[in-house]
Amino acid sequence: MGSITLANVTKSFGAVNVIPPLNLEINEGEFVVFVGPSGCGKSTLLRLIAGLEDVTSGTISIDGADATAVPPAKRGLAMVFQSYALYPHMSVRKNISFPLKMAGLDQAEIDKKVNGAAEVLNLSDYIDRRPGQLSGGQRQRVAIGRAIVREPEAFLFDEPLSNLDAALRVNMRLEITELHQNLKTTMIYVTHDQVEAMTMADKIVVLRAGFIEQVGSPLELYRSPANLFVAGFIGSPKMNFLTGAAAAKYDATTIGIRPEHVSLSDKEGDWKGVVGVAEHLGSDTFLYVKLEDGTQFTVRAEGEVSFEHGDTVYASAASADRIYRFDDKDIAL
Amino acid sequence: MATDHSRTAARFMISPAVLLLLGWMIIPLSMTIYFSFLNYNLLSPGMEEFIGFDNYEFFLTDPAFFAALGNTLLLVGGVLLITIIGGIGLALLLDQPMWGQGIVRILVIAPFFVMPTVSALVWKNMFMNPVDGLFAHAAKALGFAPFDFLAHAPLFSIIMIVAWQWLPFATLILLTALQSLDQEQIEASKIDGANKVNRFIYIVLPHMSRAITVVILIQTIFLLSIFAEILVTTNGGPGYASTNLTYLVYAQSLLQFDVGGGSAGGIIAVILANIVAFFLMRMIGKNLEA
Amino acid sequence: MTNNNPNYNKLIVTLFAWAIGLLIFFPILWTILTSFKTEAEAIASPPLFLGFNWTLENYLEVHERSNYFLHFWNSVVISVGSTLLGLLIAIPAAWAMAFVPAKQTKNVLMWMLSTKMLPPVGVLIPIYLLFRDFGLLDTRVGLVIVLTLINLPIIVWMLYTYFKEIPGEILEAARMDGATLWSEVIYVLTPMAVPGIASTLLLNIILAWNEAFWTLNLTAAKAAPLTAFIASYSSPEGLFYAKLSAASTMAIAPILIMGWFSQKQLVRGLTFGAVK
């Protein structure tokens, strides 16, 4: 249970085509992340699956049954919204029990499930408070609680962590991943943050302007990006790109090399440049090097490195198979 | 969330309101336009005949019309001047820390809730009456002769009454605008070396300009239609000294039963109000997009 | 002015503000005081402020002479009736415009507002003639209809600005949680909308209670609300200050109290959301 198939799905708002014909298979139990820059259509895609928007054409099936015309309430999906969308006039308990009440469960069963969920999510102490009295992280957990009590076919997350501060975000990321490992329910997660995508997903769907650029596991996308866009989007810091003569040497229009795959020397190497800023993080050092032709080049060196602002350095690929080659259409070679 | 189903439902839910307002606007207004081209007097029913623009000509060449137009402008302008300046002052005052701020606020706002006929009669009899009014008592106590406000300065007196009613409105809105001013802006300007006067001119006033415009426009809409205050105090007199456009149309149609002439006056009033409304709508429309 | 003691400044501001506040409030205070005087005390020279024999006789007399409570009841029926009817029509419309916005929504809203700017004299004659022909002159029903229509744009606008503040995601969440349209309305929308509806109700009762163009022109003895009844004091009964004051005090007291509770909503309602 919990497989979702999109076949030739399109969505237009008036004359604006947001989703071109799109096909996607989401398997049962998978953690799928839709990632892409803002405006790429990832949230629209999620809302189409939820049934909050009508598809313009194409079909969406859930567990093999055509669900295109099924209203959101009947699709058996649960959703966690970016703003959490908690009901401000209801206590935490009422919020979590709302979907069960709508489903017509009897009170004893509702109480059992709500108490169970509150326990799992550490909400028992706040169960009678209203959302306005909770912190961001607690609200987030209530929203998740409201989603899990229904035991849905699949969970939909719409940028759920974007309103939290950095430390809390890391925590909640772990909690959601753990939740997935325990429940083994299909989860579809939308984010613009590639770190969240890399750390959480079984399968990443990279979107740009409504088109799927690439689908694959985090490491597949990291190791063999299908094109320049995916190469630049996945991985942090961003991949360095070189064009012109440097690329021609490798028989490509553009070559890319990740900052962590660069070795530095003060004497010799392929690309000469001057260190602009050096960020010393202790475990790593990020060096922002300006090459002779003006290209910005990022280098990630392990541990503490002694280069400083103004030093002349030579960068080269740690090994030749770490260089990605792209043709004049930005497709990987 | 906008699915086709909900769109249909939405149209269905909006239509009663739209249809009612459409009827309210179109049916009587087109009747007024129609009447304005007729020689139509309620005292001689069945004698209606089409006379083209004669009613407009009659209305626009009537000295009473120009008196009324002038009075309307004076009334609107005078009240606006008093309420805007007074309102800014009061808003600045009420924004200061003080004891009993809530109560002072309540006192200042109260006149707005007094129905027009009550405030007009209270002012007319208990304050402006030349024999027993408080102003007459005060004048006598100071050794002056009592002044008959409504007989000798009718328009001025009405302006004072109306200004008293609308000062709270201006104050309340300007105070709300003032309180929405970001305190960090004030702090930043202090650090930038601005003194109180500078802060008022360069920070506070620009911040309030939008609210001031809103007050001017909304009050103008209501002030163009001032009626009850004139009816119970002066009946538009003496002569036409305190007749405004609204009162003139009322007098023409319901006191002299000249439906045709009154209608022409009504249409002229509509056109004047539309000029103001045009600017008001543009402001509110802009806000809707923001 | 060189004294920078904050308490000293606060004291000056307080005294000044209270003086101005009392000055503005004085006509109302004076009316209330006068209503408890005898007619002779009311016109005494010099005027009496507190040193008079407090009496309730004016209140009784106002009613005996003119059936005051009929007019009071007319005011209640007309203002509450027109407000409730207006809400009934406006709630669905505002709900639809706030939650299912279409391309035309903004234009419809602006157009509704424009009807409010139509000066009443522009339609006075036809309404008067239509009312005469349909037997609606001097009836409460007739006034309820007119006041509903003139305040409908304000009601729709106020509700719209309140509904607009309910985040759409919450309604979507309810839908995802399996709520039908009805349970969405009952469990989620209504509880969140009640404060806004209450404010709208309050402000509109105030506006309808004080409306003094149509109530004066369309009523006589039977259906006259307090606005029109008080106008009948313009002469010569207005010279009976104590009775005028008693009648006035009763007419403004309920609305004064309601008004003080709805200051914030007043700003929003009367500026059509342009100032919050």
Domain at B109, CATH number = 1.10.3720.10
Whether ipTM tops 0.90, in short, is no
pLDDT at B156: 92
The tokens describing A319, both together, are: 């090994």
Q: How far apart are CA C68 and CA C87, in angstroms?
A: 29
| Pairs of CB atoms within 8 A across A/C | 66
Query: Which superfamily is assigned to A4-231 in CATH?
Result: P-loop containing nucleotide triphosphate hydrolases (3.40.50.300)
Is B290's pLDDT higher than 60? no
pLDDT at B287: 62
B5 within a domain of the structure (yes/no): no
- DSSP strands (E only) in A76-117: 77-80
Indicate the pLDDT class of residue B3, thresholds 50, 70 and 90: low
Indicate the pLDDT class of residue C1, thresholds 50, 70 and 90: very low
pLDDT at C86: 93
Q: How far apart are CA B217 and CA B211, in angstroms?
A: 10
A85–C167: do the CB atoms touch at under 8 Å? yes
Q: How far apart are CA C115 and CA C123, in angstroms?
A: 11
Q: Which residue has the higher pLDDT, B191 or A257?
A: A257
A69 and A185 Cβ atoms separated by less than 8 Å = no
pLDDT at B78: 95
Chain A residues touching B4 at Cβ < 8 A: 54
Arithmetic mean of pLDDT over chain B: 85
For CATH 3.40.50.300, the residue range(s) in chain A are: 4-231
Q: Phi and psi for B216 in degrees, rounded to 5?
A: -60, -50
Arithmetic mean of pLDDT over chain C: 84
Over residues C71-86, mean pLDDT: 92
C251–B118: do the CB atoms touch at under 8 Å? yes
Over residues B30-52, mean pLDDT: 81
Indicate the pLDDT class of residue A264, thresholds 50, 70 and 90: confident
A54 in reach of chain B (CB within 8 A): yes
C210 and B116 Cβ atoms separated by less than 8 Å = yes
The tokens describing B261, both together, are: 């002439």
- CATH no., domain A240-326: 2.40.50.140
State the residue for tokens 């005027």.
C47
pLDDT at A203: 94
Domain boundaries, chain C: 6-57, 61-270
Q: Phi and psi for A254 in degrees, rounded to 5?
A: -135, 140
Is C45's pLDDT higher than 80? no
Q: How far apart are CA A36 and CA A229, in angstroms?
A: 10
In B, residues 188-247, which contact C (CB 8 Å cutoff)? 210-211, 214, 218, 221, 224-225, 227-228, 231-233, 245-246
pLDDT at A1: 65
CA–CA min distance A53, chain B (Å): 5
pLDDT at C219: 83
Chains touching B by CB (3 or more pairs below 8 Å): A, C
β-strand pairing of B49-50 with A65-66: unpaired
Arithmetic mean of pLDDT over chain A: 89
Coil, helix or strand at residue C179: coil
Indicate the pLDDT class of residue A259, thresholds 50, 70 and 90: very high
Most confident of A205-219, A293-307, C188-202: A205-219
Chains touching C by CB (3 or more pairs below 8 Å): A, B
pLDDT at A251: 87
pLDDT digit string (tens) for B235-266? 887 888 888 888 988 888 888 888 888 888 88
C187–A98: do the CB atoms touch at under 8 Å? yes
pLDDT at A157: 93
A85–C187: do the CB atoms touch at under 8 Å? no
Coil, helix or strand at residue A34: strand
Where helices occur in C35-139 by DSSP H, the ranges are 39-42, 57-66, 68-99, 105-116, 121-133
Instruction: Tell which of B118, B127, B232, B271 to mutate to test the C interface (max C CBs under 10 Å).
Output: B118
Is C111's pLDDT higher than 90? no
B63 within a domain of the structure (yes/no): yes
pLDDT at C25: 93
Is B71's pLDDT higher than 60? yes
The tokens describing C117, both together, are: 């700017």
Domains of chain B: total: 1
Over residues C39-60, mean pLDDT: 79
Indicate the pLDDT class of residue A213, thresholds 50, 70 and 90: very high
pLDDT at C84: 94
pLDDT at A306: 82
> Which of B149, B154, B269, B153 minimizes the C-alpha distance to B220?
B269
Is C264's pLDDT higher than 80? no
Coil, helix or strand at residue B166: helix
Indicate the pLDDT class of residue C3, thresholds 50, 70 and 90: low
Cis peptide before C120 (omega within 30 of 0): no
State the residue for tokens 């234009």.
C107
b/e for B12-34, b at 16 or more Cβ within 10 A? ebbeebbebbeebbeebbebbbe
Chain A residues touching C172 at Cβ < 8 A: 50, 52, 72, 79, 81, 85
Q: Which residue has the higher pLDDT, B3 or C100?
A: C100
Strand partners, B27: none
pLDDT at B4: 66
pLDDT at A166: 86
Over residues A35-51, mean pLDDT: 90
Q: How far apart are CA B78 and CA A137, in angstroms?
A: 57
A42 and A208 Cβ atoms separated by less than 8 Å = no
Q: How far apart are CA A283 and CA A296, in angstroms?
A: 23
For CATH 2.40.50.140, the residue range(s) in chain A are: 240-326
Which helix H or strand E contains A300, and what residues bound it?
A: strand A296-302
C169–A81: do the CB atoms touch at under 8 Å? yes
Chain B residues touching A54 at Cβ < 8 A: 3-4
A150 in reach of chain C (CB within 8 A): yes
Over residues B151-158, mean pLDDT: 89
Coil, helix or strand at residue A78: strand
pLDDT at A205: 94
Domain of residue B134 covers: 53-289
- The third-level CATH classification (topology) of the domain covering C61-270 is MetI-like fold (1.10.3720)
pLDDT digit string (tens) for A99-109? 888 888 899 99
pLDDT at C4: 62
Strand order in the sheet with A57-62: A16-26, A4-13, A57-62, A65-66
C126 and B35 Cβ atoms separated by less than 8 Å = yes
A53–B2: do the CB atoms touch at under 8 Å? yes
Over residues A296-300, mean pLDDT: 91
Task: Point out the least confidently predicted range of B2-11, B191-200, C31-40, C95-104.
Answer: B2-11
A53–B1: do the CB atoms touch at under 8 Å? yes
Is C27's pLDDT higher than 90? yes
State the residue for tokens 């979590």.
A96
B65 within a domain of the structure (yes/no): yes
Where helices occur in chain B by DSSP H, the ranges are 4-35, 54-61, 63-94, 101-109, 116-121, 134-141, 149-152, 154-179, 183-191, 196-199, 205-223, 228-233, 245-250, 259-289
pLDDT at B204: 85
State the residue for tokens 């070795």.
A263
b/e for A94-126, b at 16 or more Cβ within 10 A? bbbbbbbbbeebeeeebeebbeebbebbebeeb
The contacts of residue B288 (CB under 8 Å, 6+ apart) are C106, C109, C110, C273
Task: Give the residue on C whose Cα is nearest the Cα of A145.
Answer: C177
pLDDT at B1: 44
